[in-house]
Amino acid sequence: MLAYQIQSAGEQAKLREIPVPAPAEGQIRVAIRACGLNFADLLMQKGTYQDTPAAPFTLGLEVAGVVDAVGAGVSHLKPGDRVAVYSGQGGLAQFGVFDAERAVLIPQSCSFEDAAAIQIAYGTSHMALDHRARLQPGETLLVTGAAGGVGLSAVEIGKLMGATVIAQARGADKLAVARAAGADHLIDADEDLRERVLALGGADVVYDAIGGDVFKAAFRATNPEGRLLPIGFAGGEVPQIPANHLLVKNLTVIGFYIGGYLRFRPEVVRNSFETLFAWHAEGRIRPHISHTLPLSEVAQGMALLKARKSTGKVVITI
């Protein structure tokens, strides 16, 4: 089978022919139909992601497809089931073996492309805003990088949870995407973020995927008792948070990493995914996929992420 694989540390990933794997006890083999790309895939290629597997490994963190075979001890899934799997690796291939407990059934109404696009972006936003930040109806949510995969899902989920959403992104085209997802107010990345947010009454919850100066400006525009979620650092700089400023405004900075929950509270991830797929079946969420590419063009998909030329998700079909 074909797999987009890194064979040794520091090596560039490329499509390779490798044997089709067999599922071990507690595992399923999935004939993969779609895999979402993530910024983490770029970091794994550089070896800088916190959960980079030991080489050799196949890239691709979130997959959707059809169960092809089951290992010993698996009784709740069977060949032919349509599943989504937050795999952490192995998704950019024609087949993959994954722990059965990570698989979630997807409704017939949900395409494989949507199922691949929902997991990390929507799972991150749903768990961060609901489980961690406890976003309340009527509060103001500021989303930076609002046209990216996680940012756009945060706009959509924030509106579903009853918040007023301020979306920050670069350029009219990306801001239009955020507005279509439900944003109430738009701020271009070239504008003074702190000034604009304060003029709108300040933010109660900040969902920041950029870091650096953007986080600093959002921090200064947060209302007393506000909560800040440093979700990612796409701008390249991890912000340093002045603890004395937290005290003055009684602010809370909340750490969140969806992959960590797979180790110590996997049921939180499963419950979130089940909620999200139910919302999709009800027509309440619709992932924005700006590019759909075949497995032969996965390098081009990675380049789109690196150059920030995509909005929402890039999905590889297999």
Three-state secondary-structure class, residue 58: strand
pLDDT at 221: 98
pLDDT of residue 46: 86
Please check whether residue 169 lies inside any domain of the structure. yes
SS3 (DSSP) at 260: helix
- Kindly state the DSSP code that residue 312 receives in the 8-state scheme: B
Residue 127 covered by a domain: no
Reported as a single tens digit per residue, the pLDDT across 101-143 is 999 999 999 999 999 999 999 999 999 999 999 999 999 999 9
User: pLDDT at position 99, please?
Assistant: 95
Give the domain range for residue 237. Answer: 134-253
Of 214, 230, 253, which residue constitutes the final position of a domain?
253
Same domain, residue pair 189 and 78: no
pLDDT of residue 274: 92
User: Which of the residues in the chain have pLDDT under 50?
Assistant: none
- The domain boundary, picked from 235, 253, 271, lies at 253
Last residue within a domain, chosen from 214, 229, 253: 253
Query: Which tokens is 238 given?
Result: 């991890």
The reported pLDDT for the residue numbered 233 is: 87
- The reply to whether 53 and 163 lie within a common domain is no
DSSP 240: P
Q: Copy the structure tokens of residue 129.
A: 């805003």
Say whether both 7 and 115 belong to one domain.
yes
Same domain for 230 and 191, yes or no, is yes
pLDDT tens digit sequence for 259-278: 899 888 988 999 999 999 99
Q: In what order do the strands lie in the sheet with 14-17?
A: 14-17, 2-6, 57-58
Residue 299 placed within a domain = yes
Same domain, 266 and 218: no
Which helix (H) or strand (E) segment holds residue 213: the answer is helix 212-220
Number of domains in the chain: 2
pLDDT digits (tens, 9 = 90+) for 85-109: 999 999 999 999 999 999 999 999 9
Structure tokens at 298: 């996965």
